[in-house]
Structure 1
Amino acid sequence: MDQTTHPARQAASPPQVPRRERFLGHLAMLLFSMLIAGSFSFGGLAAQHLDAAPLTLWRYLLTVLVMAVLAFGIFRAPFAFPRASWRFLVLGGLIAFYMLMMFTALEFTDPVPTGAVFTLMPLLSAGFALLFLGQRTGPGVLAALVIAAIGAVWVIFRGDLEAILSFDVGRGEIIFFTGVAAHAAYVPLLRKYGRGENPFAFGFWVTVASALCLLPFGARELAATNFATLPPVVYGAIAYLAVMTTAVTFLLLQYASMRLPAPKVLGYGYLTPSFIIVLEGLLGHGWPHAAVFAGALVTACGLVAMARLPD
């Protein structure tokens, strides 16, 4: 994290970020989208044996331990109660809300329409970046995001035009939209609320706040869980979710958000459906037809154009 400039001022002049730093920010978000894609398969396996609320709380409690080891054990960050601790409650609350809304929405709908709602996140983030940071998104970047979104929607619906046209906005989609909006606000606020803290210590306090926000929803069920009866796949999935898709992805997101505009950061979420399809194929769950890969190619082209455009 750049500790020489206040994030709010840094946001107003993104060209000051060195080209190499911006390139590394793009690589960080590419890895981010790959890791998030992996969480769908592992999370689905764990969800077969444990409800969403205790599952999410368990992963965040483990993440708190992982981030504590990283921050204060490996990287020797000074342990101190953070200044303006309300910042972490806001950030942690937004992520906790997104997680809960995602699982709640899936009680009323299925992953396909929720995936379509997810593609609204980068464009929503552009609006929040303007509101919170005064960060304007150029027309070229917006056009690239729209192109990437079209490709992502095509992939999500597996190239079925009839399925896209028959998409019906119901209760589940509305619920998930509120969670997507919370996550879209999280990225520009992550940049706004950064005050030069050690990134690992910052991540630790955000995950602590997330766990605290999740306690009322999953603590009772988690305490009543018979862990001895859970199969090993649940423990493996929890480890992956806690370490890779919570601790590591947080650090990647934080790193990129300090070097790239918010719409460019979240634009990489469009690649997640494509990575999911590739992963499912490699796991032997079948490959989609060629039209789906055409959508993935459109998404990739849109993101490449976005990355090359001025911030």
Structure 2
Amino acid sequence: MLGFAAMIAGSFTAGALVVDEIGPIALNAIRFLLGAMLMGLMAFAVARQPMRLPPAPWRFGVLGLLMAIYFCSMFIALQFTAPVATSAVFTLIPLMAAGLGLLILGQRTGPIGLLSLLFAGLGSVWVIFRGDLDALRAFDIGKGEVIYFAGCVCYAIYTPLLRKFSRGEPAVLASFFTLSATTLWIAAYGFPEILATDWTALPPLVWWVIAYLAVFPTAMSFFFVQFASLHLPAAKVIAYGYLTPIFVILLEGLFGHGWVSLPVVAGALVTVLGLVVLALAPERAARPSPAT
């Protein structure tokens, strides 16, 4: 999941390079299409999985819908609010995942785990607002935050449902069907924008960014989450997202966009400490939950 956080962070830096060249829904549609094709190649050509629909394929339709809502809500919200505000809303996901993991799977997060989630979340908020208390106090809950919060609820539901819906399929096969369903939902939502995009006129940089997004933050990150959700509680899986702002800071510094102040570094260390405590905290047994 450390790799997951790093790849997601890279998508912010890469996406900023082409934000004026292609619409966000069209960009997500093509990245998920290519990601699904790559995962299909891995599942059927490399892993030699049988090419047939799995039992109860509606499971992947539900998972794909949750992911499509999350990604679409993110870009819709950015039309009304700043990225820093949506990042702050994102920090609520691990706590929501802990509650939904209890409700859906019976996964119990002990007091130490909950405290470490809060601790890591506070550090992440401090990093997001770059240690500026005035910026934190100026945070206003508006239309964009409400829209993105709805998407974050879908993301929080998605992780425990991965284990709930699992029928023993290999992670690579489950990732292929989930990515495929996400692609169909996004394409259905953004069909006019996709149709209006002049794909042949896109500069080479856009295609390089699309290739990166399709391989790393899409195909590989979906596989990592699918795999981790079968071995870790939902709250722990999502909590690694707290590291995303830290990786963004590192990438921005390495790309020559400037380094952050020491107070922000201190907040990053608080987040890391909270996640270390969470990783070492004992897991509570979940009640048996047969696949449906």
TM-score range, shorter chain: over 0.9
Post-superposition offset of 1:228: 2.6
User: How do residues 144-159 of structure 1 correspond to structure 2 at under 5 angstroms?
Assistant: 144-159=116-131
8 A contact 1:77–1:200 mirrored in 2: no
Alignment equivalent of 2:163, drawn from 191, 211, 214: 191
Looking at structure 1, the residues matched to 236 and 203 of structure 2 have their Cα atoms a distance apart, in angstroms, of: 39
1:303 maps to which residue? 275
Write the letter of the residue equivalent to 1:55.
L
RMSD of aligned residue pairs (Cα, Å): 0.9
Alignment equivalent of 2:190, drawn from 196, 218, 221: 218
Looking at structure 2, the residues matched to 216 and 65 of structure 1 have their Cα atoms a distance apart, in angstroms, of: 18
Write the letter of the residue equivalent to 2:73.
M
Looking at structure 2, the residues matched to 131 and 306 of structure 1 have their Cα atoms a distance apart, in angstroms, of: 20
Looking at structure 1, the residues matched to 192 and 157 of structure 2 have their Cα atoms a distance apart, in angstroms, of: 30
8 A contact 1:57–1:219 mirrored in 2: no
The reply on whether 1:60 has 2:32 as its aligned counterpart is yes
Q: List structure 1 segments (4+ residues) > 4 angstroms apart after TM superposition.
A: none
| Secondary structure, aligned partner of 2:51 | coil
8 A contact 1:155–1:293 mirrored in 2: yes
Looking at structure 2, the residues matched to 89 and 46 of structure 1 have their Cα atoms a distance apart, in angstroms, of: 30
Post-superposition offset of 1:33: 0.4
Offset from partner CA, 1:206-262 (integer Å, 9 cap, x none):
111111111222223223322232111110111111110011001111111111111
Looking at structure 2, the residues matched to 199 and 167 of structure 1 have their Cα atoms a distance apart, in angstroms, of: 39
Structure 1 length as normaliser, TM-score? Answer: 0.89
| Secondary structure, aligned partner of 1:46 | coil
2:286 maps to which residue? none
| Secondary structure, aligned partner of 2:17 | helix
The reply on whether 1:165 has 2:137 as its aligned counterpart is yes
Unaligned 5+ residue runs, structure 1? 1-28
Post-superposition offset of 1:122: 0.2
The reply on whether 1:175 has 2:147 as its aligned counterpart is yes
The reply on whether 1:75 has 2:75 as its aligned counterpart is no
Looking at structure 2, the residues matched to 269 and 199 of structure 1 have their Cα atoms a distance apart, in angstroms, of: 20
8 A contact 1:46–1:238 mirrored in 2: no
The reply on whether 1:279 has 2:251 as its aligned counterpart is yes
Looking at structure 1, the residues matched to 269 and 162 of structure 2 have their Cα atoms a distance apart, in angstroms, of: 30
Looking at structure 2, the residues matched to 104 and 155 of structure 1 have their Cα atoms a distance apart, in angstroms, of: 24
How many residue pairs match? The answer is 283
The reply on whether 1:138 has 2:131 as its aligned counterpart is no
Looking at structure 2, the residues matched to 174 and 219 of structure 1 have their Cα atoms a distance apart, in angstroms, of: 25
User: How do residues 1-311 of structure 1 correspond to structure 2 at under 5 angstroms?
Assistant: 29-311=1-283
Looking at structure 2, the residues matched to 180 and 160 of structure 1 have their Cα atoms a distance apart, in angstroms, of: 25
8 A contact 1:116–1:153 mirrored in 2: yes
Offset from partner CA, 1:70-122 (integer Å, 9 cap, x none):
10011111111111111001100000000000000000001001000000000
Looking at structure 1, the residues matched to 60 and 226 of structure 2 have their Cα atoms a distance apart, in angstroms, of: 13
| Secondary structure, aligned partner of 2:140 | coil
**What fraction of aligned residue pairs are identical, expressed as a percent?**
51
1:10 maps to which residue? none
Unaligned 5+ residue runs, structure 2? 284-292
Offset from partner CA, 1:18-75 (integer Å, 9 cap, x none):
xxxxxxxxxxx11110110001111222322111111111111111211111100111
Write the letter of the residue equivalent to 1:205.
F
8 A contact 1:47–1:55 mirrored in 2: no
Looking at structure 2, the residues matched to 103 and 258 of structure 1 have their Cα atoms a distance apart, in angstroms, of: 29
Looking at structure 2, the residues matched to 59 and 223 of structure 1 have their Cα atoms a distance apart, in angstroms, of: 15
